[in-house]
Amino acid sequence: MSTIGYEAWLRYPQLTDVLRIEAVSRWSGCMIVTEASEVIATAAAELKRGLERMLGVTLAARSSCDSGSGCIAIGTFSGGNESIARVFGDSGAQLDTGAEGFAIRTDAESGIIAIGAEQPAGVLYGVFHLLRLIATGASIDELDIVERPVNTIRMINQWDNIDGSVERGYAGQSIFYENNTIKSDLTRVEDYARLLASSGLNAIAINNVNVHHHETYFITERFLPDIARIAGIFRRYAIKLFLSVNYASPIETGELTTADPLDADVKAWWKAKADELYKVIPDFGGFLVKADSENRPGPFTYGRDHADGSNMLAEALLPHGGLVIWRCFVYNCKQDWRDRKTDRARAAYDHFKPLDGRFMDNVILQIKNGPMDFQVREPVSPLFGALPATNCMMEFQIAQEYTGQARHLCYLVPQWKEVLDFDTYAKGEGSYVKQVVDGSMFGYKHSGFAAVSNIGDNANWTGHPLTQANLYGYGRLAWNPELSAAAIAEEWTRLTFGSDEHVVSTVVSLLMGSWSIYESYTAPLGVGWMVSPNHHYGPDVDGYEYSKWGTYHFSDCKGMGVDRTLATGTGYAGQYREPNASIYGTLESCPDELLLFFHHVPYTHVLHSGKTVIQHIYDTHFEGVEQAEQMLRSWNELEGRIDTETFKLAGDRFAEQAEHAKEWRDRINTYYLRKSGISDALDRTIY
């Protein structure tokens, strides 16, 4: 197995520019590290590995600096490292770096670059930051940086199953499990921890939110010793371990006959379970719960609501400082397609809004970015901003379930940015989603980001080499939502492919264009779905149209789209605060890209773009294919500038994407030509 894709953005290729080598080497005489903390040891090892690779030298670790040779000191402000104290003096504590932030300062006088932090985790993040600066070509001669993460919870969700499969995984099998056991060799888990920590993440739920039979026993002695082994690996990278739990665990394990959250035995069961867990994993993060959703058990079985359900677990975890992360993805998945009044989009808000204020302080509601399910385009969930008295966090999906499954390139950071920058008007204009999820808007006690991972045991982790950028970008954005999608793309590209400017500009351009291109040849104007049932790959316009999943487009011979207005539709638009409710609810003001999510319109309806809906469909689908073909050509121009393995691997996927985009184009165009009877104005081939 080649290591090129495996090392991802931590390749740290040897610097080749002589002046650059000299500039960095000046500060790399030694590494000064004095603290015994496990995480600082990790930081030191990372710094050593990174610098040695880039410079081709050996970096000695010392406890103090020989005057004259430039050194890098790492440590906590109060940890007794004299070099740290010398550079930051008393100011360290005043820098307000918080539990995870760091300061980096180049002190010309002492010849030291110091990475200081209040806690070891900050030191680790500071080391990764410095390495990133060096690898991307920044000057380190005059550093004076203070960084702290904007979000306190920066989490990844693994949808891995104990049988080794990964639900919605498109990059191989699980790196955690195989054959109904936890792998004995966890080397790869450690390497994953490095990737996560280096992008700024600090929490992981290691099993699928759909907790099946065997995984129900993760919280029992059958699996706990191995889970603790995994927790130990992540702990070294300052990452807290969470578990997804089965709400019916007391029943499924055969110990009780109910899982009613108000039942005394059930409460006692979970309390005992929490005690047992924390004995084995003292810094255990808590539970991630999918309840009463898509056939999973939950409090509804007992006539209780989700506040009852989650608070019971939260009480059990409270003495240990644990959290309950409770997913809001609750809807009727057995809808009758004939019933046009029930609207899946309404479900999360309808379920959770009335419960605001009833959740304990250590419960967090995890809300998917949109009201449906990670489509290429949906509006932002109206729950963001609607729960002032309830901790909330964001859920994204890095795994491209509906966005090309790592066969198509779809760089998702621009989409996530749009979500985060959405104005909820919760406290007047300028009440952005990012301020809801970072906790600042309502003073949440806990909040942040979660996202479904896109990695598996493929050699390069993510299948498509370029979709590593989504994992990296997610971490960076969770750390700081103000970073631009382009800046993250460029950073990732330089770390991954080095400094060839032609490569950088091409790859950044491919990444930045990809979401829009993918959208253009798939479901139009925010209507979503149109994918093959179950596996969700490839076009099937009516794939879900007559099914129970509540995901319809209602296309007939005259028009299409879902009327979600208050006036004549399902009323979903009314779940937003004004002016959003009116903007979405009014045909004239609804943005084109969400038109069919909110309105049922004739094919001849004229968009703000000046095109009719039907012509927009034809045009975007023809253009999307041309753009997908252009992506392939652009990539192919990089031949010789990128390692042959990655070049070939990504090239094959771009070729597949270009071909598959044609299938999308032809099926959607044909479907709508047949249905509408309206010809393409440009008379292109539609079958």
Does residue 674 belong to the site contacting its own copies (CB under 8 A)? Answer: yes
Stretch that binds its own copies, among 212-220, 356-364, 381-389, 534-542 (CB under 8 A): 534-542
Contact between 548 and its own copies per CB under 8 A: no
539 binds its own copies (CB under 8 A): yes
- CA–CA gap between residue 615 and residue 678 (Å, rounded): 9
Binding of its own copies by 555 (CB under 8 A): yes
Active-site residue (options: 96, 283, 294, 336): 294
Q: Which stretch binds its own copies (CB under 8 A): 257-265, 476-484, 540-548, 619-627?
A: 540-548
Q: Does 163 bind its own copies (CB under 8 A)?
A: no
Min dist CB 546 to its own copies, Å, is 5
Question: Is 557 near its own copies (CB under 8 A)?
Answer: yes
Nearest to 402 by CA among 380, 373, 379: 373
- Please report whether residue 540 would count as binding its own copies according to CB under 8 A: yes
Question: In terms of Cα–Cα distance, which of 152, 148, 154, 149 is closest to 97?
Answer: 148
Strand 559-560 and strand 601-602: the pairing is antiparallel
DSSP string, 483-549: S-HHHHHHHHHHHHH-S-HHHHHHHHHHHHHHHHHHHHHSS-TT----B-TTT--SB-TTTTTTSTT
DSSP state letters, 23-53: HHHTT-SEEEE----HHHHHHHHHHHHHHHH
| Contact flag: residue 675 with its own copies (CB under 8 A) | yes
Shortest Cβ 658–its own copies spacing (Å): 17
Residues 6+ apart with CB under 8 A from 664: 521, 522, 538, 539, 621, 624, 625
Determine the interface stretch with its own copies among 216-224, 332-340, 341-349, 646-654 (rule: CB under 8 A).
Answer: 332-340
Among 340, 353, 427, 611, binds its own copies (CB under 8 A): 340
Tell me if residue 147 is catalytic: no
User: To the nearest whole angstrom, how small is the minimum distance from the Cβ of residue 529 to its own copies?
Assistant: 14
Q: Supply the minimum distance, in Å, between the C-beta of residue 118 and its own copies.
A: 58
**Per CB under 8 A, which region of 307-315, 466-474, 517-525, 537-545 contacts its own copies?**
537-545
Region near its own copies per CB under 8 A, out of 95-103, 239-247, 334-342, 426-434: 334-342
> C-alpha 269: how far from its chain's center?
33
The smaller minimum CB distance to its own copies, of residues 171 and 560, is found at: 560
Torsion of the alpha carbons at 109, 111, 117 and 123, rounded to the nearest 10: 170
612 is a site residue for its own copies (CB under 8 A): no
Distance in angstroms (rounded) separating the CA atoms of residues 327 and 318: 19
Out of 213, 334, 445, 558, name the contact with its own copies by CB under 8 A: 558
Choices 9-17, 39-47, 463-471, 672-680; region in contact with its own copies by CB under 8 A: 672-680
Q: Please report whether residue 670 would count as binding its own copies according to CB under 8 A.
A: yes
Write out the binding residues for its own copies, residues 463-502 only, by CB under 8 A.
none
| Conformation bin of residue 125: beta by default, left when phi > 0, alpha when psi is -120 to 50 | alpha
Of positions 677, 679, 681, 684, contacts its own copies by CB under 8 A = 677
656 counts as binding its own copies under rule CB under 8 A? no
Which of 254, 338, 429, 610 is in the footprint of its own copies by CB under 8 A? 338
Bridge pairing between strands 363-368 and 392-397 = parallel
Q: How far is the CB of 161 from its own copies (least distance, A)?
A: 23
545: tokens are: 């149209």
Query: How far is CA 429 from its chain centroid?
Result: 27
Return the structure tokens found at 25.
């080497």
Contact with its own copies (CB under 8 A) among 23, 487, 583, 673? 673
654-661 long-range CB contacts below 8 Å, 24 or more apart? 654/409, 654/628, 656/407, 657/404, 657/407, 657/408, 657/409, 657/628, 657/631, 657/632, 658/625, 658/628, 658/629, 658/631, 658/632, 660/407, 660/408, 660/538, 661/408, 661/521, 661/624, 661/625, 661/628, 661/629
Instruction: Tell whether residue 546 is a contact of its own copies (CB under 8 A).
Output: yes
Q: What stretches of 307-373 adopt beta strand conformation (E)? A: 323-327, 363-368
Q: Check binding of 569 to its own copies (CB under 8 A).
A: no
CB of 145 to its own copies, least distance (A): 54
Q: Would you call 373 a catalytic residue per the annotation?
A: yes
By annotation, the residues acting in catalysis are: 294, 373, 401
Chain residues in the site for its own copies (CB under 8 A):
337-338, 340, 539-542, 546, 554-558, 666-667, 670-671, 673-677, 687
